[in-house]
Amino acid sequence: MADKFDVIVIGGGPGGYVAAIRAAQLGLKTACIDKWLNKEGKGVFGGTCLNVGCIPSKALLDSTHKYEEAKEHFDVHGITAKDLKIDVSTMLARKDKIVNNLTMGVAGLFKANGVTPLEGFGKVLAGKKVEFTNHAGKTEILETDNIIIATGSIPVAIPPAPLTEGLIVDSSGALEFDKAPKRLGVIGAGVIGLELGTVWNRLGSEVTVLEAQDKFLSLVDQQVAKEAAKQIKKQGMSVLLGARVTGTEIKGKEVTVNYSDSEGDKSATFDKLIVAVGRRPYTENLLSGDCGVNLDERGFIFVNDQCATDAPGIYAIGDVVRGPMLAHKASEEGVMVAERICDHKAQINYDIIPSVIYTHPEIAFVGKNEDELKAAGEKYNVGMFPFAAVGRAMAANDTAGFVKIIADAETDRILGASVIGPSAGDLVQQVVIAMEFGSSAEDLGMMVFSHPTLSEAVHEAALAVNGHAIHKANRKRK
């Protein structure tokens, strides 16, 4: 490996491996470094997303959703499931197989595109050099013209709830319970906490979520958040807002969580506790003091809109830089940087990056929500349409939630959308595409949507923005 690389990517997650593949496709001699070891101690690429994040959690969400459907909702279809059981070990094995297939897929893509995989640790040195240390401890200095940092993020730890093997766990540990705990506590009512709580709630756990903030899903449109809270409560999960954890005590195989709320000091005892209070950028032992890469006041690597750091030829993408911690944001930044290295004028529209919460009903949103526009004093129109009025949703017995589209009051240009309901993550993408091309609500409303489909809710919500919805009474304009 004494030869010089055109690009070295540090980090093999959805930002890093995509950046490496795109750079190689553009004819650049590329290497990708990642330290991840799987359960068998073998080096794999894919990062948190493929190994212990997006993919395994969605596998468990899908398995448990099917189980809950069969247990609670098949009777309406005339289907009777007697003596229904779920084998957790089989469910976990399926999850692991999916992870293995995808990480092997990344290895195959590296081979097909000519990316050099380096299993171990990378450190950025001055002069665009990278110190690479393999898992055996052997170190060498690699030279390159460009460095892309894609080291991602790790779970935030909190002093009142230090991790304890098998009892107090982070999001990774919550994917490995060998059975549903009778009483499960979750600290944090964000995306990760709600999704993991949902998995084990479906399998019979009594789930209590402790959230320090007084507002539920504060970054989500509050009409959506209110509907989500109603659905989560209906499913049997308890969410305690304004509950600030002050400490934990372990006695035998139980953990007692001490917390305070508006009524004073309280406590709750659980069989397992998940700490899911967020993630922070991973930069430990990553940067030499003289490499020229700087961190901002929050510990993220400082970059401009094109993901360039303060050091020429060094870029950073994904969770380790500003913006939402989303795999798809990291991937697109990886492509953008690879193309800009080759002098292509690639860029990302950061105003229309969608977010999804994979509870059921799903929650998805993009652009501005009504609360933000109201606070800014902007004039807008709103169109909403419930899934309860959508034929395909009725046929699927999945009618909770609605689509909400917001447009500028003067230009009718779509400013944002929020969806809570079946396939919300897929439906919101239709609005993302419309927004990318500067569509108005009228434009979206004039398009022909297939019938019967869930996407008709998007169509009707777009029509409703201007009072033209067909399948519901329109709100009178003031």
Question: H helices of 27-141, where?
Answer: 47-52, 54-68, 88-113
Q: Which residues contact 121 (CB under 8 A, 6 or more apart)?
A: 33, 35, 132, 133, 285
User: What is the reported pLDDT for 287?
Assistant: 98
Q: Are 150 and 30 in contact (CB under 8 A)?
A: no
Closest to 296 in 3D by CA, of 286, 306, 283: 283
CA 223, 224, 229, 235 torsion: positive or negative? positive
CA distances from 454 to 141, 272, 401, 449, 460 (A): 54, 38, 12, 10, 11
- R_g over Cα of the chain: 24
Among candidate residues 369, 376, 459, 375, the one with its CA nearest the CA of residue 418:
369
Q: CA torsion 140→144→148→153, rounded to 10°? A: 10
Residue appearing with tokens 């004494």? 2
Three-state SS for 352?
helix
Paired with 407 in beta bridges are 381, 414
Q: Which residue intervals of 7-87 are DSSP H helices?
A: 16-25, 47-52, 54-68
Q: Which of 219, 232, 233, 224 minimizes the C-alpha distance to 190? A: 219
Q: Residue 1 has what pLDDT?
A: 54
Task: From the candidates 360, 451, 459, 471, give the one annotated as an active-site residue.
Answer: 451
Per-position pLDDT tens, the chain of length 478: 557 999 999 999 999 999 999 999 999 999 999 999 999 999 999 999 999 999 999 999 999 999 999 999 999 999 998 899 999 999 999 999 999 999 999 999 999 999 999 999 999 999 999 999 999 999 999 999 999 999 999 999 999 999 998 899 999 999 999 999 999 999 999 999 999 999 999 999 999 999 999 999 999 999 999 999 999 999 999 999 999 999 999 999 999 999 999 999 999 999 999 999 999 999 999 999 999 999 999 999 999 999 999 999 999 999 999 999 999 999 999 999 999 999 999 999 999 999 999 999 999 999 999 999 999 999 999 999 999 999 999 999 999 999 999 999 999 999 999 999 999 999 999 999 999 999 999 999 999 999 999 999 999 999 999 999 999 999 766 5
297: exposed, middle or buried (C-beta count within 10 Å: 0-12, 13-18, 19+)? Answer: exposed
Is there a contact between 427 and 454 (Cβ–Cβ < 8 Å)?
yes
Q: Looking at residue 477, what is its pLDDT?
A: 62
Q: Model's pTM, two decimal places?
A: 0.96
Helix residue ranges, H only, 342-390: 370-376
Nearest by Cα to 109 from 42, 185, 3, 16? 16
Residue 451 annotated as catalytic: yes
Which pLDDT belongs to residue 3? Answer: 77
How does strand 139-149 pair with strand 314-316?
Answer: parallel
SS3 of 411, please?
coil
Which residues touch 457 (CB under 8 Å, ≥6 apart)? 385, 386, 387, 390, 393, 402, 403, 419, 421, 427
Report pLDDT for 475.
Answer: 79
Distances (CA, A) of 21 to 12, 14, 107, 191: 11, 11, 11, 29
Q: What is the DSSP letter of 367?
A: E
Domains of the chain: 5-155+280-348 (3.50.50.60), 168-277 (3.50.50.60), 353-465 (3.30.390.30)
